[in-house]
A and B are shown apart, each in its own frame.
Chain A
Amino acid sequence: MNVIARRTVRTVIGFVSVGVVAAALTGPVLASHVHVNATVPSDGTLGEMIRMPVALQAQDGAPLQGTTVVFYLHAVFAGVTGQAEIGRAVTDETGVATLVYRPRLAGHHELRMEYVTPGEGTVEEVSTAFDVSGGKQLYRPAARLDIPGINGGLLIAVLATVWSILLWVAFRFIAIARAGGEAMTPGQHKTG
């Protein structure tokens, strides 16, 4: 009786374990009711706009309208690594959500798009990557006015004048020291 019971328990545990593993492996697939097609260009130029369209379709091929897609870039800033949100877009009647993004850093970028499936309410994601080339200076001052003569050269000229005068004072020290040697009188003597 004990042997039969033990075998029964083992068999049940075995089936449950296999079931759990199978559910774990197939879960995301089963949960995913959305077909995603991200047509992000594989490369771009620093400072120029890149269009990032993502098409979402239901399993029957119908476009998913009104779904918000959140775009994240893998980023490293001041030694901290993480996902930086770069924007959000909502799918239109054709199921396409497009983000227009201006890359500010050259190199390889990993992009992750996240959305919530309609009905199920589960968060799904899809990843892709693109390369950005170029070394353009992106910072442009809002206003710029060049007045001839007002620049770093003027600063250097002022500094040079001040330090020249201080140098002239240093030469006075030399003059004082030299005169001390020349003008000794019998009534005075060098001490110390």
Chain B
Amino acid sequence: MVALNEWQERLEETALAPVRRTGPRFWALVAFLLAVIGWGAYAYSVQLRDGLIVTGMRDRISWGLYIATFVFFIGISHAGTLISAILRVSQARWRTPVTRLAEFITVVALICGASFVIIDLGRPDRVLNVFIYGRWQSPIIWDVLAITTYLTASVTYLFVPMIPDLALFRDRLSGKTSRWRSGLYRVLAIGWNGNVTQRRSLASAIGVLMILIVPIAVSVHTVVSWIFAMTLRVPWDSALFGAFFVAGAIFSGISILIIVMAILRRAYHLEKYVTEKHFVYLGYLMATFAAIMIYGNISELLVHGYKFAEGVEFHFRQLFLADFAPLFWFYLVGGLVGPIVIALLPATRNVRGMVAAAILVTLAMWIERYVIVVTGLRVPLMPYEPASYAPTWVEWSLLAAGLALFALLIAVFTKVFPIIAVWEVAEDHEATVGASGIARPAALETKN
């Protein structure tokens, strides 16, 4: 009993530590990220002033880096919902230390992803046209509806399991932190004290959300894929696109989760709770989805290549032999085959190996989105010379700013909210060591 209480005390201290102490390295990181975002803001002001002519996009290749990054961010947003919800539904106990991070990645990635659509518009005020002139028949409207619903559900899904931990912060940091922070925890904890009625309401809300969030998340990336698949372009002419995009989203979501986990584990000394086991298990999941992606690619390329409809020859040439060959081969070999090899080899089946695999996957999946977007528009619709596209400094700057915003929001989150689901980890630990009759710690109850 004493040992269990001590264990929980250490867990709570670990969760509270990032909020209690902030070193100069954190502020240096924030300053650097703000500088990158500031540079991005300058680039955006140039784009607003001069128009989209400052980008590499023209009339024939009218989507580029922005839309590829939008799809990438929406993809990694599946880290939280699908990974967390699926593992919760399947009652995988090892999930508990990673779910909170995964859920927050979802919300942040959705915010960053949605902003790239507005950046791509050129005139941000024209986003209102979607609501004024939008048609139910358009996949663009489905996309707006799906992403809005997904963002709302994801914020809810992040918040609900956090309520007991917010109450813990409210109680443990009372009088020891700033007034705004105390007020924030008091409001967000919504009067939680862990009584039976509250626990019942919390359990039913989580139970409903973890089931609801899965079809919403699947629908979001399916609809994103339909924006391409429902356009009359040879490379996008595929009924497989929805499933392919969802698999790719989970794949990239797992990779970004591994990277963020590794950084925060090192920064906040979470080694005791986020162990090598978590990296290896997520690595297995990543390898499984790499295999699914390989299957999807073979199916897609073989069917298109066998029929070889008009335009496919040009498309295959640009993918395998010409302009986009280095990127596409890196995606196939480095991003899909590489992670499977890393996960299978005992020598690389560790934290470093999985992080290396995750970096490969993240790069490869961004490249995949870029290749899908640009090559799809590059195939000529009429017998004219194919157009070319190269992102300009404005686009690269805004991509850097988007990634910096993603990192900044996560960094700030770790300083305000509990990064570990304390009560869930405690329950998991209790189930592991408390089976021999040790009294249950009040994991869901708050303490003075």
- Interface check B191, CB cutoff 8 A: yes
- Kindly state whether residue B428 has any CB partner on chain A within 8 Å: no
Asked if A162 and B171 make an inter-chain contact with CB atoms under 8 angstroms apart, the answer reads no
Choose among B152, B182, B185, B193 the residue that contacts A188 (Cβ–Cβ < 8 A): B193
Known A-B contacts A183-B198, A191-B170, A192-B170; the reply to A177 vs B212 at CB < 8 A is: no
B149 close to A180 (CB less than 8 A): no
Q: For the complex formed, measure the closest distance between the CB of A19 and the CB atoms of chain B, giving whole angstroms.
A: 49
- Say which residue of B191, B201, B446 sits within 8 Å of A172 (CB atoms): B201
A188 and B202 contact, Cβ closer than 8 Å, known pairs A179-B195, A180-B190, A181-B191:
no
List residues 64-84 of chain A with CB under 8 A from any CB of chain B: none
List, in ascending order, chain A residues with CB within 8 A of B198's CB: 175-176, 179-180, 183
Q: Return chain A residues, CB-CB under 8 Å to B137.
A: 152
Contact of A177 among B170, B191, B209 (CB under 8 A): B191
As a 0/1 sequence over residues 160 to 177 of chain B, the CB contacts with chain A under 8 angstroms (1 = contact) are: 100100000011001000
Residues of A contacting B149 in the complex (Cβ-Cβ under 8 angstroms): 159, 162-163, 166
Q: Which one of A151, A169, A192 contacts B205 once the chains associate, using CB atoms below 8 Å?
A: A169
Q: Which residue of chain B has its CB nearest to the CB of A159?
A: B145
Interface size counted on chain B using CB atoms at 8 A: 37
**Contact: A176 with B163, CB < 8 Å?**
yes
Q: Tell me the bound Cα distance from A180 to B136 in angstroms.
A: 43
Proximity bits, A168-192, B CB within 8 Å = 1, else 0: 1110110111111111110011111
Given contacts A152-B136, A162-B212, A176-B163, contact A183 B202 (CB under 8 A): no
- Complex Cα distance, B167 from A177, in Å, reads 12
A172 lies within 8 A of B202 (CB): yes
Interface assignment of A155: CB less than 8 Å from any CB of chain B: yes
Number of A-B contacts (CB under 8 A): 87
- B191 near A180: Cβ-Cβ < 8 Å: yes
C-alpha gap A159/B153 in the complex (Å): 12
A192 CB contact (under 8 Å) in B160, B186, B196, B202: B186
Asked if A165 is an interface residue, CB under 8 A from chain B, the answer is yes
Q: A159-B145, A166-B156, A169-B160 are in contact. Are A175 and B201 (CB under 8 A)?
A: yes
B55 to chain A, nearest CB (A): 19
Interface code A127-157, partner B: CB below 8 Å = 1, 0 otherwise? 0000000000000000000000001100100
In chain A, what residue has the closest Cβ to B189?
A: A192
Choose from A162, A176, A189 the contact partner of B448 (Cβ within 8 Å). A189
Q: List, in ascending order, chain A residues with CB within 8 A of B171's CB.
A: 191-192
Q: A162-B149, A191-B170 are in contact. Are A176 and B191 (CB under 8 A)?
A: yes
A177–B193 CB distance below 8 A: no
Q: Are B190 and A173 in contact (CB under 8 A)?
A: yes
Output the least CB separation between A190 and chain B (Å).
Answer: 8
Instruction: Flag whether B22 is at the interface (Cβ < 8 A).
Output: no
Determine the chain B residues whose CB is within 8 A of the CB of A170 once the complex forms.
156
Asked whether B70 is an interface residue with its Cβ less than 8 Å from the other chain, the reply is no
Are B201 and A179 in contact, with the CB atoms below 8 A? yes
How far does the alpha carbon of A181 sit from the alpha carbon of B183 in the complex, in Å?
17
Contact with A176, one of B136, B152, B170, B192 (Cβ below 8 angstroms): B192
Q: How far is the CB of A103 from chain B (nearest CB, A)?
A: 24
Q: Cβ of B204 < 8 Å from any Cβ of A?
A: yes
Q: Are B182 and A192 in contact (CB under 8 A)?
A: yes
Closest to B215 in A: A162
Q: Which chain B residues border A151 with CB–CB below 8 Å? A: 136
Question: B197 contacts the other chain (Cβ, under 8 Å)?
Answer: yes
Bound together, the chains give a CA A182 to CA B153 distance in angstroms of 28
A107, chain B: closest CB distance, angstroms: 22
**A155 and B208 within 8 A (CB):** no
Residue numbers in B under 8 Å from A177 (CB-CB): 190-191
A189 to B175, CA, bound (A): 14
One digit per residue, 1 when the CB lies within 8 angstroms of any chain A CB and 0 when it does not, for chain B 198-230 equals 100110110011001000100000000000000
Q: Is B328 an interface residue (CB 8 A)?
A: no
- Known contacts A162-B216, A176-B202, A179-B198; can you find 6 more A-B pairs with CB under 8 A? A151-B136, A152-B137, A155-B136, A169-B160, A181-B191, A192-B185
A selection of 11 A-B contacts at a CB cut-off of 8 Å is: A152-B136, A155-B145, A159-B149, A162-B153, A165-B212, A172-B160, A175-B198, A179-B195, A191-B170, A191-B448, A192-B183
Contacts from B to A (Cβ < 8 Å): 136-137, 142, 145, 149, 152-153, 156, 160, 163, 170-171, 174, 182-183, 185-186, 189-193, 195-198, 201-202, 204-205, 208-209, 212, 216, 445-446, 448
* 10 shortest interchain CB distances as A-B pairs: A180-B191, A152-B136, A183-B195, A179-B197, A192-B186, A172-B205, A191-B174, A177-B190, A175-B201, A192-B170
